[in-house]
Amino acid sequence: MKRRNFLKNASLTGMGLALGNALTNCAEKEKSTPASAVEPAASTFPVVVATWNFQEAVAKAREVLENGKPALDAVEQGVMVEEANADNQTVGLGGLPDRDGHVTLDASIMDHTGNCGSVVFLENIVHAVSVARKVMEDTPHVMLAGKGAEQFAYEQGFPKTDLLTEASKKAWEEWKVRSEYKPVINIENHDTIGMLAIDRDGNMAGACTTSGLAFKMHGRVGDSPIIGSGMYVDNEVGGAVATGMGEEVVKTVG
């Protein structure tokens, strides 16, 4: 199924549906209204939405948009709030480690022109989404992985940071006692932060960042950094991000 058709016909998240409908309504209005009269209401744009309970991240993104910055800046700076939040054990600093005790991060970012970048299996860098943006803007590639992504981050000036906090280390040590690993698919299984925004020019951008499944196999990568699976934006149709069991998302949308 093509990404555009998927966005038109269905959405894995209410967010994708919401922004898709917003743009669809604009398109319908344009068909029935003279071009000279098509002016989005002042309250229509900018707009930003995110997965789950991330009000501070949304507030930051909204601030960026209100200052006239593009949607790409807004989604990056918005999700960075949670990447730096050590109390959030699903993203960035303080994320729960894999079964070997390593915190590994995945992230992706995409703008309205189709440019995109991502990193997978990244260690020792707090702001994976910013590294993903550097991949998009400063390399001929879309995705960098593991040690290569980490080395690239250092070359771009990102500081090395131990991502394993005492709280996450304690949770890992408690898990090792029983070593049970059976991911549960339910409404509670979430907290990847995905964010979509539309700026004053009507252009969209999206970002997604996560530390992945807690106590996963070393080397596991989920859907979040996969463009067209964990996140996708299309100015003509809408945008969507996914959160939950990455394997199931990949099986569903590719």
Residue 174 and residue 184: Cα distance in Å, rounded?
Answer: 18
Residue 164 and residue 98: Cα distance in Å, rounded?
Answer: 11
**Which candidate in 192, 209, 210, 243 is catalytic?**
192
What SS3 string covers 88-110?
Answer: CCCCCCCCCCCCCCCCCEEEEEE
- Range list of β-strands (E), the chain: 47-50, 105-111, 116-122, 143-145, 193-198, 204-210, 231-234, 238-241
Tell me which amino acid residue 95 is: G
Given phi > 0 = left and psi -120 to 50 = alpha, else beta, which region is 79? alpha
Q: Is 192 a catalytic residue?
A: yes
Q: How many residues does the chain have?
A: 254
Q: Which residue has the tokens 């596991």?
A: 220
What SS3 class is residue 86? Answer: coil
The residues assigned a catalytic role are 192
